[in-house]
């Protein structure tokens, strides 16, 4: 009875966390939190075990991440991963819709119990990889590349919600597409915008300026600030409950 009360209390606490959390007893999962259930689309730890079997089956066997093949026969996965440097304690797990995510792993052992905490670092890794590969910047113009922005949409959406702002998208078109003209345009626009605004090379003859704004009035003021005779400007502001992906579709439509 006392153990059931303890598990109930633990369940109540871990359900408040955004990280995926699993409690093991003698290597067997006995408790998972709401975030874990949502990721794997299961309603209970029993359903998870029936659907996925051994816990390490959920680790994608990718050479860049920790997985079953990196565990010796005499080890549990949590002992094996604990021996690695912190930067290497990363696993890849996939949703039922086959969407891969990367997680940093922290494990805590208490007698026969182990608490596993999985923090989603997918967006952080994407950003780091793209910067390392120099794919964050469009080489012709010096603005951000379109691919980089599209990969960072989730993180940007999180920033919008956290700051309680809306997104302003200004589509800027020019007929001067020679490299020296593009560089001059980008330098001009960068001198007018804020550090946290994103100027993106959207197509051969267009740029997209993404900003967080408080009001439509402030968005219009930005257009006035950027104005040049050799460019055309179209302002598209995020509607209530509209995602950035939906906003982008309107920009491209």
The least confident of 108-117, 132-141, 167-176, 230-239 is 132-141
pLDDT tens sequence across 107-156 = 999 888 999 999 998 877 766 666 665 678 898 999 999 988 887 787 77
The least confident of 6-15, 224-233, 240-249 is 6-15
pLDDT: which is higher, 245 or 107: 107
Cα–Cα dist 34/20, whole Å: 8
Assess contact for 89 and 106: CB atoms under 8 A. Answer: yes
Distances (CA, A) of 24 to 29, 30, 36, 111, 130: 4, 5, 14, 11, 36
- Model confidence band, residue 188 (pLDDT cutoffs 50, 70, 90): very high
User: What pairs with residue 101 in β-bridges?
Assistant: 93
User: Can you give the pLDDT at residue 131?
Assistant: 63
């Amino acid at each position: 009875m006392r153990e059931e009360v303890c598990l109930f209390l633990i369940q109540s606490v871990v359900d408040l966390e955004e990280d995926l959390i699993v409690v093991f007893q003698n290597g067997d999962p006995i408790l998972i939190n709401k975030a874990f259930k949502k990721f794997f689309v299961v309603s209970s730890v029993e359903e998870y075990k029936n659907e996925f079997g051994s816990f390490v089956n959920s680790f994608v066997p990718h050479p860049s991440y920790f997985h079953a093949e990196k565990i010796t026969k005499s080890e549990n996965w949590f002992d094996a991963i604990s021996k690695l440097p912190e930067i290497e304690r990363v696993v890849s797990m996939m949703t039922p819709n086959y969407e891969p995510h990367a997680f940093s792993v922290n494990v805590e052992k208490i007698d026969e119990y182990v608490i596993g905490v999985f923090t989603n670092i997918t967006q952080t890794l994407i950003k780091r990889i793209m910067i390392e590969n120099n794919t964050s910047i469009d080489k012709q113009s010096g603005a951000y590349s379109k691919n980089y922005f599209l990969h960072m949409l989730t993180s940007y959406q999180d920033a919008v919600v956290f700051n309680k702002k809306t997104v302003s998208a200004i589509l800027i078109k020019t007929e001067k597409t020679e490299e020296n003209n593009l560089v001059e345009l980008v330098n001009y626009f960068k001198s007018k915008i804020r550090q946290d605004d994103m100027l993106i090379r959207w197509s051969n003859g267009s740029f997209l300026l993404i900003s967080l704004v408080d009001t439509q009035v402030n968005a219009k003021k930005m257009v006035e600030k950027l104005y040049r005779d050799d460019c055309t400007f179209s302002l598209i502001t995020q509607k209530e409950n509209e995602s950035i992906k939906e906003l982008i579709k309107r920009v491209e439509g």
